[in-house]
Amino acid sequence: MDKLKMVQRFPRSRDRLLAILHELQRANPRNYLTGEDLRLVAQYLDLPLSQVHDAVTFYSMFSLVPRGRHIIRLCDSPPCHLAGAWSLLAALQEELGIRVGETTPDGLFTLEFTSCLGVCGVAPAMMIDDQVYGNLNPERVREILAGYREAG
Amino acid sequence: MRIARAHVLVGVDEEARLAGVERVLSALRKKLAELGLADEVQVVETGTLGLSGRGVVLVVYPEGVYYAGVTPEAAEEIAEEHLLKGRPVERLRLPPQAPVVAPRRLLGRQTRVVLRNCGLIDPEDIEDYIATGGYEALSRALQRRPEELIREIKSAGLRGRGGAGFPTGIKWEAVARAAGPEKYVICNADEGEPGTFKDRLILEGDTHKLIEGMLLAGYAVGAHKGYVYIRGEYVLSIARMERAIAQAREYGLLGEDILESGYSFDLEVRPGAGAYVCGEETSLIESLEGKRGWPRLRPPFPVTYGLWGKPTVVNNVETLANVPEIVFRGADWFRTLGTSSCPGTKVFMLLGHVQFPGLVEVEMGTPLRTLVYELGGGPPEGARVKGVLVGGAAGAFLSPEDLDVRLDFDSMREMAAALGSGAILVFDQSVCMVDMLGSVLRFFRHESCGQCTPCRVGTDALVRLLDSIRNGEGDEGILELMMEITDTMNLASLCPLGQSVALPVGTALSRFRGEFQRHLEGGECPRCRQSEGALT
In B, which residues are within 8 Å of A87 by CB distance? 530, 534
Torsion of CA B106, B53, B24, B115, to 10 degrees: 50
- B77 has pLDDT over 60: yes
pTM of the model: 0.88
CB of A8 less than 8 A from some CB of B:
no
**Separation between Cα atoms, residue B36 and residue B39, nearest integer Å:** 8
In this prediction, residues B476-497 reach a mean pLDDT of 96
Q: What is the pLDDT of residue B2?
A: 47
Interface of A with B in 23-42 (CB under 8 A): none
In chain B, % of residues over pLDDT 70: 96
User: Of A59, A120, A135, which has the smallest distance from its Cβ to B273's Cβ?
Assistant: A59
- From the list B227, B233, B351, the residue facing A117 with the nearest CB is B233
Average pLDDT over residues A6-34: 95
Instruction: Give the pLDDT band of residue B181 (cuts 50, 70, 90).
Output: very high
**Per-residue CA distances from A21 to A57, A70, A128, B116, B379 (Å):** 12, 18, 19, 37, 45
pLDDT given at position B60: 86
Pick the range with the lowest mean pLDDT from B301-315, B453-467, B521-535.
B521-535
At residue B103 the predicted structure's pLDDT band, cuts being 50, 70 and 90, is: very low
Which residue would you say has higher pLDDT here, B532 or B135?
Answer: B135
What are the pLDDT digits (tens) for B184-229? 999 999 998 888 889 988 998 899 999 999 999 999 999 999 999 9
Closest partner residue to B292 among A21, A54, A122, by Cβ?
A54
Please, what are the domains in chain B? Answer: 6-94 (3.40.30.10), 126-335 (3.40.50.11540), 345-428 (3.10.20.600), 433-535 (1.20.1440.230)
Q: Collect all residues of chain A within an 8 Å Cβ-Cβ radius of residue B447.
A: 115
DSSP character at residue B259: G
Q: How far apart are CA B61 and CA B471, in angstroms?
A: 57
Q: Whose CA is closest to A15, among B321, B306, B320, B243?
A: B306
Q: Where are the alpha helices (DSSP H) in chain A?
A: 3-8, 17-27, 35-45, 49-56, 78-82, 85-96, 138-151
Measured in angstroms, the CA of B374 and the nearest CA of chain A are apart by 18
Contact A119 B435 (CB under 8 A): no
**How large is the greatest C-alpha to C-alpha distance in chain A, in angstroms?**
50
Lowest-pLDDT range of A98-102, A114-118, B67-71, B167-171: A114-118
* Whether the Cβ atoms of residue B79 and residue B98 lie closer than 8 Å to each other: no
Nearest-Cα residue of chain B relative to residue A51: B291
* B65 or A87: which leads in pLDDT: A87
Residue B287 to residue A76, Cβ atoms within 8 A: no
Query: Which residues of A are less than 8 Å from B14 in CB distance?
Result: 117-119, 132
A57 CB neighbours in chain B (<8 A) are 292
Mean pLDDT across the stretch B340-359?
Answer: 91
Would you say B399 and B433 are in contact if contact means Cβ atoms under 8 Å apart? Answer: no
**Rounded Cα gap, residues B360 and B368, in angstroms:** 12
Among A56, A3, A49, A2, CA closest to A32: A56
Q: Give the start-to-end residue ranges of the domains of chain A.
A: 3-56, 70-151
The nearest CA of chain A is from the CA of B258 a distance in Å of: 24
CA distance, residue A107 to nearest chain B CA (Å): 23
Q: Evaluate whether ipTM surpasses 0.90.
A: yes
A21 vs B contacts (CB less than 8 Å): 273
Most distant CA atoms of chain B, gap in Å: 74
A contact residues 43-82, partner B, Cβ 8 Å cutoff? 45, 47, 51, 54-55, 57-62, 73, 76-79, 81-82
pLDDT at A51: 95
Residue B141 pLDDT grade (very low, low, confident, very high; cuts 50, 70, 90): very high
* Correct CATH for A70-151 of 3.40.50.620, 1.10.287.1770, 3.40.980.10, 3.40.30.10: 3.40.30.10
Residue B100: pLDDT band by 50, 70, 90 thresholds? low
Q: Please tell me the predicted confidence (pLDDT) of residue B535.
A: 59
Confidence class of residue A1 from pLDDT cuts 50, 70 and 90? low
Over the stretch B34-52, which tens digit does the pLDDT of each residue have?
A: 888 888 888 888 777 777 7
Backbone angles phi, psi at B387, to 5 degrees: -170, 175
From A21's Cα to the closest Cα of chain B, the distance in A is 9
How close A108 comes to chain B (CA, Å)? 21
- Which residue of chain B has the CA closest to A88? B534
Tell if the CB–CB gap between A59 and B292 is shorter than 8 Å: yes
Q: Do A79 and B195 touch (CB under 8 A)?
A: yes
From chain A residues 113-152, the ones with a CB under 8 A of any chain B CB are 113-123, 127, 130-135
Q: How confident is the model at residue B107 (pLDDT cuts 50, 70, 90)?
A: very low
> Chain A closest CA to B534's CA: distance in Å?
5
Round the average pLDDT of chain A to a whole number and report it.
Answer: 93
DSSP state of B81: I
B270 contacts in chain A (CB < 8 Å)? 15, 18-19
Buried b (16+ CB within 10 A) or exposed e, A100-121: bebbbeeebbbbbbbbbbbbbb
Q: Taking the alpha carbons of B62, B65, B71, B73 in that order, is the dihedral positive or negative? A: negative
